[in-house]
A and B are shown apart, each in its own frame.
Chain A
Amino acid sequence: MDEDRQKRRDEEQWSAADREAGSLRDADFTTVSSAEVETLYRPTDLAEHDYDRDLGDPGDFPYTRGIHPTMYRGQLWTMRQFAGFGEPEDTNERFRFLLEQGQTGLSLALDLPTLMGHDSDDLRSEGEVGRCGVAMDSVLDMERVFEGIPLDRVTTSMTTNAPAAILLAFYLVAAERQGVGFDQVGGTIQNDILKEYIAQNTYIFPPEPSLRLITDIFAFCADNVPRWNTISISGYHIREAGATAVQELAFTLANGFAYVDAGLAAGLDVDVFAPRLSFFFNAHIDLFEEVAKYRAARRIWARHMRDRYGAKDPRSWLMRFHTQTAGCSLTAQQPDNNIVRTAIEALAGILGGTQSLHTNSLDEVLALPTERAVEIALRTQQVLAYETGVANVVDPLGGSYFVEALTDRMEQEAEEYFRKIDALGGVVAAIDKSFFQKEIAEASFRYQMQVERVDKVVVGVNKFATGGPPRVDTLRIDPTLEARQVERLRVLRAGRDQAGADEALSNLLAACTDGENVMPRLLDCARTHCTLGEMVATMKAVFGVYHETPVF
C-alpha cells in the first residue's frame, strides 16, 4: 500500500511538474494500438516482480527472455523471405535467387485459387491465377517449384491453411520423387484455420471438420515427418486486419490453446504434438510494444502449457515464432520510407527473440515485390545481424522498467481476453458470435479515424506529404500465364491413369466419412495426379462449406 501511494505521488509530481513547465507537446502519447503509456517508468513499476518466477534466464521457464540460453550467439534467426508468383518456374527462379543471396529458408506463397481450393481452370479462378502467389494444381507444379532444390537441404514454409493437408501431401510426394524420405524433410505449414475465420478469410470447410484435418496432420507428422512444424499459429493476419497488439497476442494464443484442446480431444498426448506447434507474429512500428508482446507471448504459452495442460516435455512449453514486418504499416506515398519502417520493425522482432524473420519489401503496398526491392529487404536483415551488434546480447531490453511493465500489462490484458472467450464458449463459439470480427473491426475503424484526424501521424501520408504519384517500378504478372496453366491441367488430366485417380479420390471420400486419417489418402491422390480442386471437391461433399456473417 505504501508503495502504491508512493507511486501515485511520484506520478502526480511528474505530471504536475510537466504541466507547470508547459513542457508537454500537443501530441498523442499512446502506442500505435492506443495503449496508454506513462512519461517515465521506475523501480516502483516492478515492485511485484520476481526474477525467477516472471523472467528467468533465457532458456529457462517461463522463457520470457528467450527460448535458448545463447540465442543469436548460438544461431542467428532464419532469414526467410516469403515468395511466390506466376507459374511454378517463376517461383523456382526467385527461390534460387534468394538462396544464392544467402537466404537460409524458403517460404512459399500460393495464389488465391489454390488457397481457396480451386483449380486454375475453375471459373472462379479467372483473373487470379498466379497473382498473389504461385499456381499449384497438382504435385507436378510442386516438383517444378523445387526443381534443382534438394528438399533435404532446405526447409520450406508454406502459407496454406484450408487446403494445408493437400499441399503437405504435394510436398512430401515431390520429396519422395527426389529420393528424399519423409523423415528428412523439414518445414512448416501455416495450417491455422481459426485465424482465417477471424481475420484473413481464406476458409473452405466449417470449423469442426477443419479442426479434424489439423489433428490428422498432427498425428500423421508425429509418426512420419518428425521435422515438420505442423501448424504456425498466426497473429500476423489478425494484426493486419486492424487488431491492436494485445488483441493479436490474445487471439493468437487463444487459438493456440484451441488447437491443443482439439489435439487432446482427438486422443493425442500433449507432449506428442505440442513440441511441433509454432507461432507467427506481426512486427508493427511501435518498437517497445512489439518487444513486450513477444516476451509476454512466451511467458503466457509456457505457463499455460505446463500448469494448465500438464505438458511434461519442456519443448511443449517453448513458444517458437516467425515474425513478419507489418505490411499494413507501409505507405504507397513516398515508398522509400518503407525501408526505414521495415528496419525498425525487424529490430523489434530481433529484440523480441524471433526464430525467423521476413522483412517486407518497400513496394509491397503497391504490388508483389520486384527482385531489387526483395534484395533491399534481405540486406536490411543482414545489416541488423552482422553490423549493428543487436544479436550479441540475449534479451537486451530485459530489466527495462518500461518493457517489463508493458510485458506484465499485456499478459494481464490477454488473460482478460481469455476469460471473455471462455465465457462465450470458446474460440469456435466466439467466431460464430462474431466476437473477434467485431473487436477487430472496431479497432481498425478507430485507427483509421485517428489517422484522418492526424492524432496518429503517418509520415508522407497525413504529415510531410509531398503529393504526386509514387515513383516505383512494380512487378507485372504475365497475363498469358493463366492460359498456360489451364493447358497444363488439360494435359495432366488427359495423360494420367484415370482409374487410379478415381480410386484414390473414392478412398479419400471414404476416409473423410469414416474418420480414418486423411493424410495417407491424400498422398495417394497426389501420387496418382489428382488435382487440388478434385481433392477439395471430394472433401466438400462430406464436410460442407463455411459462410461468414459479415459485420462492420
Chain B
Amino acid sequence: MKGKIRVVVAKPGLDGHDRGAKVIARALRDAGMEVIYTGLHQTAEQIVETAIQEDADVVGLSVLSGAHMTLVPKVARLLREQGVEDVVVLAGGTIPEEDHEELKREGVSAVFTPGATTMEIVAFIESCVAGAAA
C-alpha cells in the first residue's frame, strides 16, 4: 500500500519568483503530503529526473515568467517519453486563461492562477491521486 502522496514542486526555467511555490509546498506538507521542492532554475530534464527518482504522484510546476507554453509542455512530454504517464502534472502562476486549454491538451491536469487557494489545490490533488489508486 502506498503511504503519503508524494509531490514534486518545481520552478522550471530562469524565473526566480518563488513566493507561490514555497507557500504551496508548505501547505501541501501541512496537509500531510511528502513534498520535494526542487529549488530554482530547473531544466525540464532535471525536473523529470527528480520526479522519477522521488517516485512522485504529482509534479507541480510554478511559472511566472510568461514562458509556460515552452516549459510546461516540455516537462509533460518528457514524462511521457520516460513512460511515467501516471504522474499528475499541475501548473500554477501567471498563466492567461486562453492558454489553459492547450496546456491541458499537452497533459496538464489543472492550471491554478492568482487567487487560487491552497485548500482547493490540496483537495484537487487528493481527489486525483485517490482516484488513480481506486
Contact = CB atoms under 8 A, between A and B. Distances in A.
A474 to B, nearest CB: 6
B109 interface: no
A240 interface: yes
Contact of B39 (A112, A113, A548): A548
A153 to B, nearest CB: 32
Contacts of B119: 452
Interface in A509-552: 548, 550-552
B118 interface: yes
B43 A201 contact: no
Contacts of B77: none
B3 to A, nearest CB: 21
Contact of A444 (B22, B37, B41, B70): B22
A112 B115 CA distance: 25
B67 A128 contact: yes
B97 A469 contact: yes
A448 interface: yes
14 contacts: A116-B14, A127-B70, A128-B13, A128-B14, A131-B66, A196-B16, A202-B16, A331-B114, A333-B115, A365-B94, A448-B23, A548-B40, A550-B39, A552-B23
Interface string B32-53: 0000011111010000000000
B94 A366 contact: yes
A333 B117 CA distance: 13
B63 to A, nearest CB: 10
A131 B66 CA distance: 6
A552 to B, nearest CB: 4
B88 interface: no
A495 B14 CA distance: 30
A112 B97 contact: no
B25 A242 contact: no
Contacts of A112: 13-15, 65, 67
B69 interface: yes
A261 B89 CA distance: 47
B18 interface: yes
Nearest to A465: B115
Interface in A344-394: 365-368
A161 B103 CA distance: 33
Nearest to B28: A552
Contacts of B26: 441, 445, 552
Contact of A332 (B25, B27, B70, B113): B113
Contact of B16 (A127, A131, A201, A242): A201
B131 to A, nearest CB: 24
Given A131-B67, A365-B114, A448-B118, A124 B23 contact: no
Interface residues of B, number: 34
A469 B101 CA distance: 14
A128 B65 contact: yes
A126 B66 CA distance: 12
Given A124-B43, A331-B114, A550-B39, A474 B15 contact: no
Contact of A113 (B14, B17, B66): B14
Contacts of A200: 16-17
A242 B19 contact: yes
A475 to B, nearest CB: 10
B22 A552 contact: yes
Interface of B: 13-19, 21-23, 25-27, 37-41, 43, 65-67, 69-71, 94, 96-97, 113-115, 117-119
B37 A550 contact: yes
Top-8 shortest CB links A-B: A127-B70, A201-B16, A552-B22, A131-B66, A550-B39, A112-B14, A127-B67, A332-B114
Nearest to A131: B66
A461 interface: yes
Contacts of B96: 366-367, 474
Nearest to B120: A452
B5 to A, nearest CB: 17
Nearest to B23: A448
B13 A550 contact: no
A470 interface: yes
Contacts of B14: 112-113, 115-116, 118, 124-125, 128, 202
Contacts of A132: 65-66
B13 to A, nearest CB: 6
Given A128-B66, A201-B41, A444-B22, 8 more contacts: A112-B15, A127-B70, A201-B18, A332-B115, A366-B96, A367-B94, A448-B23, A552-B26
Contact of A552 (B17, B25, B41): B25
Contacts of A118: 14
A477 interface: yes
Contacts of B67: 112, 127-128, 131
Interface string A120-153: 0000111110011000000000000000000000
B26 to A, nearest CB: 5
Contacts of B69: 127, 479
A366 B117 CA distance: 17
A425 to B, nearest CB: 24
- Give the one of A115, A366, A445, A470 with max B CB within 10 A: A445
Interface in A303-339: 328, 331-333
A32 interface: no
